[in-house]
Structure 1
């Protein structure tokens, strides 16, 4: 239960709905609970009209409302009293049902509002968490927590809460009226309930453990399915459908076994409670019958009928103890899983005194070292580089040399282990995080497009951009002609992750998305790997015009000899091994010259073939 304290803030937020719901439950139960007293009056009235009936000297403790009704009807004939009681029973049933309707309109609606707020809270927190978090946790598990776990918590804030209050109100009214009428008979009737409470306590602990296990298995199952759907082309190309089905079947079977085990436990649990409630009904009739035959006991046939109705009224609430407790236990297990993520603090966050400067593009890396926390790879070693405002810098090196790490650090996806990175003399750690990223356009190595139109994807970072700006950006990215050949042109829907486009089209739309922001700093991370040589030259020519007066970092494993870089930085094993302009580096006949020579040989070979 301690885990569910996290939702108390929502109860406070919707306290008026909760309070009204509580009042409506009390009123609904009140009008339902007085019905047995009216029934007792009818049964005793019918019994007293039978031939040979001997009056009993019995005093009845009616509810004030019922007593007032009977007092007003004292002068009525027998038939009139029976009709009056029938009408009153109908009215009380309707009033009780009306307040029950209002109960659901307050408590259940409140739970839906809490579900909405909680999903927004979880989603918002997910977006605050850093890149390292998403490397450690699977997408399927994240999805399961925001859907299945939040849904189970809603069952606690709505149905479980409503049934618990209803349970307390029903038991409170029933027991108080029963005790007031006949304490000894009440004691016999309620004797099985302590046994019921012990069974509930024991079984619920087992339910809680099984629920936690089932939720964990469901996350694994969701993750397996999500990864299979995302990698379906790889699965098909390697003909691994059968193997993946076997893997999924194993996960599904484990989940099925545990879920069925819990269902079997509950299948025994709930009927057992109904049996105990049935024993109370039998005790009521048997012991009440003995008392009614005993002169001076104060028990009539109407009393027995009244107590039987009370016991029947207690049947659902008491049997719902287990159901309610099960929902609470499951909600607690789910909220525990939600709290694990909600209490995870992002490693990359704004400092308390974060500044919000307008950046011009002077970037400085000072003796930067960085080790990836999960793999332990030392990506950058004593890296120092000064990029003046408006300079165009190429970062070249083999795979794993640390090129992409520079872009990740510049955007503060990670913080360096030692050393500093500054822009215009301000340390990145002292800048407002969102404002920093707003002023840098980034084209990642791993292109990601959303299930939206071409225009929607390009406007992703600049939602207020005009359609003319969209066209201009696609012209710079050399993709406008191809977009106009699509069936819907710029309104064409792109499939999930851009699945309907070629690799080169995805890269160029991603470039257009970066250019439309028109920032002072641009970072391209190996974003031309999927385009052909002629398109590459066209894009480079366009970029050269666009990037005038802007600071640009172009990370690549290819050498763009046509682009007049102010600085070319060659990385190897996280260190700068060479730096200078193209002709100077070729003249040195070092590592850069070797890379250029290998590239020329490859291009020559491709032309011949």
Structure 2
């Protein structure tokens, strides 16, 4: 259970509630123990009446008293059982809440490389299904475990005090049961891990299928996807059945062994009564009740064992991600204000997952308030420069300076808060348009939101929707067109009003007329702000203070529009090509 030691901090956090719950559990079980002894006394009263040792009126009075005690003890046991569930089960929900937050917070700290290596479905399964399995350990397993332990601690000595020989025979099957549970538990642990890993695979498949449903429909791949899901389902059924077959042994074995205990009690107890070794037949009835009281706790031993094994397997999977260390960490605790100067000195960067060198010995400077355009062919390293400025990755060699300070010596939160980024693939959340824009500044007013939407030339589109700014977008903003998504993302960045703007080919899905209007607005807004614009269009770059041209990760040209257009090279060739296309 070493993996489950991770939960000890939560048990310490809720120790008072747990302690109260454990005490209540013990009290509930102790009240439950009252019934068998008073059943025995009731039978002895009947025996006394039959043997003419007790008067009829006295027997009735005593029977009524014992029945009231039995009913009262049952009611009190039920009441404390209710309180037990309200404490211990609630603690398991608190632990589930805390653990999900811990996992989610850690997910957010992890670097982009982690998300490239792991699938979304697997991440979701670990924070949902695996955490739920752990919750069962933190609540029901503890609750029933304490119940069972309390009954055994109280009941077994009591049975030996009342009838040692009978108790020995009644409890004889239990050691056999313990050995069987131990052997079966090892198999359950192994098969539970396989089932949990399969659930991650299934979650990944369904998540990707739903996200890419438009592609599936466009290529008429529904039968193929259905066939793949069917194969996955059959595989999952096979794995789950392997686990279910092992679990299925628990209850039959327990019922069998409890049945054997009952036979021993009836046979040995009857023999002892006939031989005069026990005074009353009531002791046999009492022991049958004791044995049957042990039926559920003994059965629960198997169930609890199964829960613990599943929880161990799930917590191990959770711990694998919790033990992942983020590659990008802030080495400075105090805030570091950002003004906007950016300098790359002989920067080289290689992507870890593909081993592709995206930048090779790049050097350039962007002064505070300057607008710099970055052009180049696909795969030349344009987007990588923006990712490195936001410190989404750390470089292999060279140095990146922000305001003449090495980027690693800046507070990471301060750096990213000073940046307004619009990625190439605009990402919008399944929320209202207003809230998607407010993502850049949570405390913004409706007037501010409308103002930036107008600057991003998307206000008129939004007003055309039935619910306007309250329109709820589909997943990943599927409700909007590509150009509308890009403009909403631009509005989000403008609302943040940062020191540094990073625009990554964010106008690729808009027409040239709208592009010109947005660029004019951006020029006004980015005045005195450092701005980097990645683009494939010269029209987005020609008014920049400086243009950088990349090829295969190397800087091949640098200068203004006029300077680069006056010499032969990639920029002039691109400009002439796009100019001729426009004239057509």
Same fold? TM cut 0.5: yes
Deviation at 1:267, TM superposition (A): 2.0
| Conservation of the 8 A alpha-carbon contact between 1:129 and 1:346 | yes
Counterpart secondary structure, 2:439: helix
Taking structure 1 as the reference length, what is the TM-score of the superposition?
Answer: 0.94
Aligned to 1:60: none
Aligned equivalent of 1:110, options 91, 98, 108: 91
Aligned equivalent of 1:347, options 327, 350, 359: 327
Equivalent-residue separation in structure 2 for 1:74 and 1:144 (angstroms) = 69
Deviation at 1:44, TM superposition (A): 1.4
Equivalent-residue separation in structure 2 for 1:134 and 1:562 (angstroms) = 32
| Conservation of the 8 A alpha-carbon contact between 1:473 and 1:515 | yes
Equivalent-residue separation in structure 1 for 2:363 and 2:489 (angstroms) = 29
Equivalent-residue separation in structure 2 for 1:567 and 1:202 (angstroms) = 72
Distance 1:501 1:74, change over 3 A: farther
Deviation at 1:158, TM superposition (A): 0.6
Deviation at 1:299, TM superposition (A): 4.6
Equivalent-residue separation in structure 2 for 1:311 and 1:178 (angstroms) = 10
Aligned equivalent of 2:121, options 123, 140, 147: 140
Equivalent-residue separation in structure 2 for 1:586 and 1:266 (angstroms) = 76
| Conservation of the 8 A alpha-carbon contact between 1:111 and 1:157 | yes
Aligned to 2:109: 128
Moved more, 587-596 or 160-169: 587-596
Aligned to 1:375: 354
Deviation at 1:265, TM superposition (A): 2.2
Aligned to 2:565: 586
Aligned to 1:496: 475
Aligned equivalent of 2:140, options 156, 159, 182: 159
Superimposed CA distance per residue, residues 207-231 of structure 1 (whole angstroms, 9 cap, x where no aligned partner): 1111000000010000000000000
The within-5 A match list for 1:447-596 is: 447-560=426-539, 563-596=542-575
Aligned to 2:14: 14
Counterpart secondary structure, 1:394: strand
- Is 2:4 the counterpart of 1:40? no
Aligned to 1:414: 393
- Is 2:406 the counterpart of 1:427? yes
Aligned to 1:302: 282
Deviation at 1:359, TM superposition (A): 1.3
The within-5 A match list for 1:173-192 is: 173-192=154-173
Distance 1:562 1:177, change over 3 A: closer
Aligned to 2:218: 237
Aligned to 2:256: 275
| Conservation of the 8 A alpha-carbon contact between 1:208 and 1:333 | yes
Aligned to 1:333: 313
Counterpart secondary structure, 1:275: helix
Counterpart secondary structure, 1:519: coil
Equivalent-residue separation in structure 2 for 1:359 and 1:194 (angstroms) = 70
| Conservation of the 8 A alpha-carbon contact between 2:250 and 2:299 | no
Deviation at 1:478, TM superposition (A): 1.1
Aligned to 1:227: 208
| Conservation of the 8 A alpha-carbon contact between 1:288 and 1:299 | no
Equivalent-residue separation in structure 2 for 1:269 and 1:86 (angstroms) = 35
| Conservation of the 8 A alpha-carbon contact between 1:544 and 1:563 | no
Counterpart secondary structure, 1:569: strand
Distance 1:375 1:602, change over 3 A: same
Deviation at 1:598, TM superposition (A): 2.2
Counterpart secondary structure, 1:461: coil
Aligned equivalent of 1:365, options 310, 323, 344: 344
Deviation at 1:126, TM superposition (A): 0.8
The within-5 A match list for 1:385-396 is: 385-396=364-375
Deviation at 1:76, TM superposition (A): 8.6
Deviation at 1:32, TM superposition (A): 0.6
Superimposed CA distance per residue, residues 520-548 of structure 1 (whole angstroms, 9 cap, x where no aligned partner): 21010000000011111111111111111
Distance 1:541 1:562, change over 3 A: farther
Equivalent-residue separation in structure 1 for 2:59 and 2:215 (angstroms) = 84
Aligned to 1:99: 80
| Conservation of the 8 A alpha-carbon contact between 1:354 and 1:430 | no
Equivalent-residue separation in structure 1 for 2:513 and 2:465 (angstroms) = 21
Distance 1:431 1:355, change over 3 A: farther
| Conservation of the 8 A alpha-carbon contact between 1:561 and 1:582 | no
Aligned to 1:217: 198
Deviation at 1:356, TM superposition (A): 1.9
Counterpart secondary structure, 1:204: helix
Moved more, 526-535 or 420-429: 420-429
Equivalent-residue separation in structure 2 for 1:136 and 1:223 (angstroms) = 13
Counterpart secondary structure, 2:496: coil
Equivalent-residue separation in structure 1 for 2:497 and 2:60 (angstroms) = 90
Deviation at 1:354, TM superposition (A): 4.0
Deviation at 1:323, TM superposition (A): 0.5
Equivalent-residue separation in structure 2 for 1:36 and 1:482 (angstroms) = 77
Deviation at 1:425, TM superposition (A): 1.3
Taking structure 2 as the reference length, what is the TM-score of the superposition?
Answer: 0.98
Equivalent-residue separation in structure 2 for 1:435 and 1:546 (angstroms) = 21
Counterpart secondary structure, 2:399: strand
| Conservation of the 8 A alpha-carbon contact between 1:470 and 1:516 | yes
Equivalent-residue separation in structure 2 for 1:604 and 1:527 (angstroms) = 24
